[in-house]
Chains A and B, each alone.
Chain A
């Protein structure tokens, strides 16, 4: 039973963090594209902001792996 719960937990960890990353990136991405349209030199800074929320899902992945492995 514990093993099954661990798999469900891993799924939730990945799923919810993925969703969270998506929601965050949606807003950042829209604003970033707007900013780049105004001024192309902002690309670097926009990209940094754009990929910041991706870390959330990476954390989710780490937790998921740990919960399956342990």
Chain B
């Protein structure tokens, strides 16, 4: 079982003018996890000031990010050829960021102003559409002093009502279904109120009259031509933006990376303690790399900056508390650097979904790497479902970029291998049918389906000669028992890891009280249930054996409770049924397999026997039946396969998280995050330049 990597605390001191190059060197080495300095930590020290280039870099970074947003470029994910660091730096300092910004903004502004123009023209167009229906010219609507003009649309033709008002002239467009009629009313100023009242009763909406002269239809034609022209111009402007984006994409992405790095470096002094003439960097470094740090500082910075080793932190929590009390709270928690081999490493993501392991805690990733795919494979337990899992998993491992898909690929690949092993050797199954054996009224076998007598050597390598049936009356009890035993072992392993954790953190006595008691109680509950099931006739057992089991169980339980009492109190007794629950929870390993086998059985029966007419109980071959059967077969098994990922995956994960990790894992560690430069699109030396990625 692996612990996070051992950490040592170091202090790096130097004179203040050397701060900038020290920060650069620390980023270059990429092994130093900074301990943030807070203003009141030590007397005589203050937080450092950002490096001189930092404000300008921040300003430029903002500009570049704005440009990225305008152009829709995602810098971290972009596939652009790499640039050389020295070129990027030279271009940035010669004002290229500002030049790119200017070009991009120009293109964007042009597009925006054309789009704005089109919107305005569209508004005039809709106004003209209203006026077009009336027999008046645009200049007719204005230029009166004693006459008021109402122009707009109404709910329905109200010219009869308006005719009753003296001194009015009314124009109404012809009625068209589903369209509000246009209306223009000219009235002497003194009768304006009456017209206004009638119009508002008719839901009058005023339409502004655009400036201009001539018949609205003629003006409308001109406006439409203008809109078309602008739309063409808009397309050109959009193409120009794409052109600008293509032209500068490489630079923008590289500038973003370099400026992000500069800003990060520039602001690092804000985490460092300084006096008027010197600086002090407190940091964690993996113990194995302390010498490398000392050598690196000497090589890169020469004399004047010194590394002083402080301590290598042990795993006992009292040690950390003691240091925190003596030297300050910020030195209490060392960061956790994952310390796993190539396979277990792939399960770190699943662990981190719960929490990052503490420095003083065993990383559950290895236990997860062993049991998670094993449980997944057992629940799937079918050769045909396993093969696509393995292929998909292998593809995911090779090509998936995101952590989530990498994790899913890992489970599918390793789980798929287990599923294939269980499917072939243990269950002897493919697509829910046994390889060997005779067909019954409801079940098919490959031997019966293909009409081939499978030779004995093939059967000889499977349990029972034909595999364990997931649905057979005699085998279900065996499977349930098996999964209960697996559960007991998994729980004992979990408590054992918990025991090691507490022993390391607080010593043997605490470990016995906190985890040892529970470990013995699990044994007790298991023995007790074993004995009871024999005595109650749930399983056939020799009475003496059952009685011995019962006695061992009671004794172990009493010892367990006594041991756990100081740490847990009454909880130790109240939680005993919880242990039974935990153990029974593992029967899901058999249950999920059963549910899938049940579905497969049903689909196979419908597809092969009922529709396809295969086997001794089918009614013979027919084309229609064959096609329908094939459809049911494919869709049915595809559904089971997809459900398999969800149910087997989630339940296998749950057994890790709830039943196992709850027993030993607390988490809450701080992940090791060293200062380092991580360039994706920038390289140091010209000869490493890739061609188009």
Contacts and interface: CB of A to CB of B under 8 A. Distances in A.
Interface of A: 41, 43-45, 47-48, 51-52, 54-55, 58-59, 61-62, 65-66, 69-70
Interface string B178-191: 00000000000000
Contacts of A54: 588, 651, 654
Given A44-B353, A45-B354, A58-B591, A51 B654 contact: yes
B473 A51 contact: no
Contacts of B452: none
Interface in B582-597: 584-585, 587-588, 591
20 contacts: A44-B350, A44-B352, A44-B657, A47-B653, A47-B654, A47-B657, A48-B354, A48-B654, A48-B657, A48-B658, A51-B650, A58-B585, A58-B587, A62-B584, A62-B587, A65-B476, A65-B477, A66-B538, A69-B476, A69-B477
B473 A69 contact: yes
A58 B476 contact: no
Interface in B638-686: 650-651, 653-654, 657-658
Contact of A61 (B350, B587, B651, B654): B587
B618 interface: no
B581 interface: yes
A43 B355 CA distance: 11
Interface string B108-142: 00000000000000000000000000000000000
B555 interface: no
A37 B18 CA distance: 46
B547 to A, nearest CB: 21
Chain A interface helix/strand/loop/mixed: helix
B480 interface: yes
Interface string B503-515: 0000000000000
Nearest to A44: B353
A52 B538 contact: no
Nearest to B594: A61
Interface string B472-502: 0100110010000000000000000000000
B75 to A, nearest CB: 21
Nearest to A60: B591
Contacts of A52: 658
Contacts of B650: 47, 51
- What range describes how many residues of B lie at the interface? 20 to 34
A14 to B, nearest CB: 10
Interface in B346-374: 350, 352-355
B486 to A, nearest CB: 14
Chain A CB within 10 Å — which of B355, B473, B591 has the most?
B591
Nearest to B533: A66
B513 to A, nearest CB: 26
A42 B480 CA distance: 33
Given A44-B354, A47-B657, A48-B654, 5 more contacts: A43-B353, A47-B353, A47-B650, A52-B658, A55-B588
Chain A CB within 10 Å — which of B473, B477, B654 has the most?
B654
Contacts, number: 51
A6 to B, nearest CB: 13
Contacts of A66: 538
B39 to A, nearest CB: 29
Nearest to A61: B591
Nearest to A51: B654
A47 B480 CA distance: 25
Nearest to A65: B476
A66 B352 CA distance: 39
A6 B278 CA distance: 83
Given A51-B658, A69-B476, A58 B588 contact: yes
A51 B592 CA distance: 14
Contacts of B653: 47
Top-10 shortest CB links A-B: A44-B353, A44-B354, A51-B654, A48-B657, A58-B588, A55-B585, A61-B591, A62-B587, A48-B658, A43-B353
Contact of A55 (B537, B581, B657): B581
Contacts of B354: 44-45, 48
A25 B537 CA distance: 35
A65 B657 contact: no
A66 B585 CA distance: 15
Interface string B585-613: 10110010000000000000000000000
Contacts of A62: 480, 584, 587
A50 to B, nearest CB: 9
B480 A65 contact: yes
Contacts of B588: 54-55, 58
A6 B122 CA distance: 76
A13 B177 CA distance: 65
Contact of B538 (A43, A51, A70): A70
A66 to B, nearest CB: 7
B527 to A, nearest CB: 19
A45 B353 CA distance: 7
A39 to B, nearest CB: 12
A61 B77 CA distance: 48
B269 to A, nearest CB: 29
A48 B651 CA distance: 10
Chain B CB within 10 Å — which of A44, A47, A52, A70 has the most?
A44
A43 B584 CA distance: 26
A65 to B, nearest CB: 6
A55 B487 CA distance: 14
Nearest to A68: B473
